[in-house]
Amino acid sequence: MAIREELSVVIERPVEEVFAFATDPENDPLWQSTSLETERTSGGPVGVGTTFRNTSKFLGRRIETAYEVTEMEPPRRQCVKIVSGPIPGSGCYLFEPAEGGTRFTQTFDAEVGGFFRLAEPLVARAIRRQTEADMATLKDVLEAGGAGG
């Protein structure tokens, strides 16, 4: 079963600042409540082909996921593909100028399998709720000046 989400929020900060903060995996635990740790697993500057390993907690389970950057167009877009983990998929962060700041849009496509397939409707709702909450947190952190300049 496939899950597709697209959610947006307007953040009252410049596009470049929102892009820099949201695409830096070291900031993930500051705004993604499920993210416990993200570690870069490849060298060089972050760009297409850069790989990461993420540890998160979702629906009470600890999840290890590896992902790769598939598109990188600062400060407009970053896309990734999950290459291993229980919920394979891909997603993009889109950054557009908006009145008063930046429209941040997150898209996500996933195939639910294994343990999570049994609870697919629950997983879809949980992902949507989690993403909405995380985007609200990102807005709060950046508008409060949490990006550290």
Q: Average pLDDT in the 111-122 region?
A: 71
CA dihedral in degrees (108, 8, 59, 137; nearest 10)?
140
The pTM of this model reads 0.87
d(CA 3, CA 43): 32
Q: Does domain 2-143 have CATH number 3.30.750.24?
A: no
Contact yes or no for 35/29 (Cβ under 8 A):
yes
Is 79 a residue whose pLDDT tops 80? yes
Length of the chain (residues): 149
pLDDT tens per residue across span 17-69: 999 999 998 899 999 999 999 999 999 888 999 999 999 997 788 989 999 99
Q: Domain map of the chain by residue range?
A: 2-143
pLDDT category at 149 given cuts 50, 70, 90 is very low
Is 148 a residue whose pLDDT tops 60? no
Of all residues in the chain, the percent with pLDDT exceeding 70 is 93
